[in-house]
């Protein structure tokens, strides 16, 4: 007799990881693949992080920590908000997490009951939708486009035919790189506080911006949940380290959930995380490299036919409307990978309704790869 498999595991796949697997298979056969598909910095962790963790390996037993994280790291994160945003944060509100992914899980579990409706943008990061569905919540997709800078507005929320219990917003966002202005972020926070909607702010791309700095939601709302990560700005993807800043009255609930689900974030990564905040200069140098890659792609992609681009205010993504080139972005990306060795991500990962006519380019790699990628794309699509 076959045993059942729980329905919560039937969520949609994270397609970018499927693309990465196909790209890696080509590389294993000796092909030169250029990775514009995955949002992973090509640089490694800051030198000061490496030095701190090497020292810890020699002198620390690397055991469990408190579920909320080690005090030096929580205090250093709180200090960062004072230094960078000029916002006072009590370290007691800081929760260290196993990457931002566990932050999403903890925030959803602590803020919502089964059946609650949570708004998220389309296009948007697919794991929001998939985690919500797996946990028994109802994701409510809010279609956004160039008319609102690919971000939601209070008017959009008013026009929904359902009442939201929560709203997830990313600024800068994935896949578009678009950002909310300071006034627009405040307007959303004010709206959610007035309507009793839990505002969850995904700020994992903060620090990676080009014209304007990003603002943090906790400046405008004491009830907002903020999620950030060491993965992007600090180039520490595999270290699986992130953090949350949560309302004071949610700390204990999140602590109990974290104790049972994760015990604690990786201890070695936490010890390295303390040192990351002394490596701002190195992190900013990486952002300067992304800026160079961004400028080159924005100038060169239109010559390959990709001339309908979302505003890339931050992060390291360019989102392109390719409806004039294909009506099946997934097949289009697969063919480009097979024929040119350039790996890109189809928009269906980020927008289940309109993503078939969009694709995403990641420019987190080295400049030479950006140059070669556009050269190959121009020759292929001329």
Residues 6+ apart with CB under 8 A from 295: none
What is residue 169's predicted lDDT score, i.e. its pLDDT?
Answer: 98
Domain segments of the chain: what residues?
Answer: 7-44+281-381, 47-278
* pLDDT score at 39: 84
Which residue blocks in the chain are alpha helix, DSSP H?
Answer: 15-28, 47-59, 71-80, 99-111, 126-135, 154-158, 182-195, 251-261, 267-276, 280-300, 329-340, 367-381
Q: Which of 306, 307, 355 is nearest to 329 (CA)?
A: 355
CB 358 within 8 A of CB 347: yes
Fold match, 7-44+281-381 / 47-278: yes
CB-neighbour burial class of residue 357 (10 A; exposed 0-12, middle 13-18, buried 19+) = buried
pLDDT given at position 61: 84
Q: What is the pLDDT of residues 153-189, one digit of tens each?
A: 999 999 999 999 999 999 999 999 999 999 999 999 9
pLDDT of residue 147: 95
Q: What secondary structure does DSSP assign to 261-309, as a single string?
A: HTSSS-HHHHHHHHHHTT-HHHHHHHHHHHHHHHHHHHHHGGGGT---B
Separation between Cα atoms, residue 336 and residue 331, nearest integer Å: 9
pLDDT at 7: 80
Distance, in Å, from the CA atom of 151 to the CA atom of 172, rounded to the nearest integer, reads 10
- The second-level CATH assignment, the architecture, of 47-278 is 3-Layer(aba) Sandwich (3.40)
Rg of the chain over Cα atoms, rounded to whole angstroms, equals 21
User: How far from chain centre, in Å, is Cα 226?
Assistant: 12
| Per-residue model confidence as pLDDT tens for the chain (382 residues) | 778 888 887 777 777 778 888 888 888 888 898 999 888 898 899 999 999 999 999 988 899 999 999 999 999 999 999 999 999 999 999 999 999 999 999 999 999 999 999 999 999 999 999 999 999 999 999 999 999 999 999 999 999 999 999 999 999 999 999 999 999 999 999 999 999 999 999 999 999 999 999 999 999 999 999 999 999 999 999 999 999 999 999 999 999 999 999 999 999 999 999 999 999 999 999 999 999 999 999 999 999 999 999 989 999 999 999 999 999 999 999 999 999 999 999 999 899 899 999 999 999 999 999 999 999 999 998 7
The C-alpha angle with vertex 125 and arms to 121 and 127, in degrees rounded to 5, equals 115
The answer to whether the beta carbons of residues 35 and 360 sit under 8 Å apart is no
The phi-psi region of residue 57 (left if phi > 0; otherwise alpha if psi is between -120 and 50; otherwise beta) is alpha
Residue 16's pLDDT is what? 78
Among the CATH numbers 3.40.640.10, 3.40.50.300, 3.30.920.30, 3.20.20.70, which is that of 7-44+281-381? 3.40.640.10
User: Residue 228 forms beta bridges with which residues?
Assistant: 243
HSE on the CB side for 18, CA within 13 Å?
A: 12
Are 329 and 346 in contact, with CB atoms under 8 Å apart?
A: yes
Which pLDDT value is given to residue 3? 84
pTM of the model as a whole: 0.94
Q: What is the DSSP string of 144-189?
A: --GGGTTS--HHHHHT-SS--SEEEEESS-TTT-----HHHHHHHH
Report pLDDT digits (tens) over 277-310: 999 999 999 999 999 999 999 999 999 999 999 9
Q: Please check whether residue 194 is in contact with residue 221, taking contact to mean a CB–CB distance below 8 angstroms.
A: no
């Amino acid at each position: 007799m076959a045993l059942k498999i729980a329905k919560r595991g039937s969520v949609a796949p994270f397609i970018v990881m499927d693309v990465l697997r196909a790209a890696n298979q080509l590389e294993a056969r000796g092909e030169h693949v250029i990775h514009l598909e995955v949002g992973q910095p090509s640089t490694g962790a800051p030198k000061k992080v490496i030095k701190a963790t090497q020292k810890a390996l020699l002198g620390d037993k690397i055991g469990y920590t408190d579920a909320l994280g080690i005090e030096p790291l929580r205090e250093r994160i709180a200090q960062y908000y004072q230094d960078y945003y000029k916002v006072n944060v009590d370290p007691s509100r800081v929760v260290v997490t196993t990457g931002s992914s566990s932050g999403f899980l903890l925030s959803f579990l602590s803020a919502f009951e089964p059946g609650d409706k949570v708004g998220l943008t389309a296009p948007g990061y697919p794991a929001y939708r998939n985690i919500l569905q797996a946990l028994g919540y109802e994701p409510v997709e809010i279609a956004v486009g160039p008319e609102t800078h690919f971000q939601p507005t209070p008017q959009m929320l008013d026009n929904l035919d359902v009442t939201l219990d929560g709203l997830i917003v990313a600024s800068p966002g994935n896949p578009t790189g678009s950002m909310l202005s300071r006034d627009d972020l405040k307007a959303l926070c004010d709206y959610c506080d007035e309507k009793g909607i839990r505002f969850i702010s995904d700020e994992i791309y903060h620090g990676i911006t080009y014209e304007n700095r990003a603002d943090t939601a906790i400046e405008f709302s004491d009830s907002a949940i903020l999620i950030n990560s060491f993965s992007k700005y600090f180039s520490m993807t595999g270290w699986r380290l992130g953090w949350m800043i949560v309302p004071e009255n949610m700390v204990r609930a999140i602590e109990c959930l974290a104790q049972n689900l994760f015990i604690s974030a990786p201890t070695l990564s936490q010890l390295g995380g303390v040192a990351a905040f002394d490596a701002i200069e190195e992190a900013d140098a990486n952002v300067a490299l992304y800026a160079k890659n961004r400028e080159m792609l924005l100038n060169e992609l239109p010559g390959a036919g990709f001339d309908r681009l979302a505003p890339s205010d931050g992060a390291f993504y360019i989102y392109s409307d390719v409806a004039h080139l294909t009506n099946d972005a997934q097949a289009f990306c697969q063919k480009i990978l097979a024929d040119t060795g350039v790996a890109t991500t189809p928009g269906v990962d980020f927008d289940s309704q309109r993503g078939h006519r969009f694709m995403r380019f990641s420019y987190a790699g080295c400049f030479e790869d950006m140059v070669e990628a556009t050269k190959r794309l121009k020759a292929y699509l001329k």
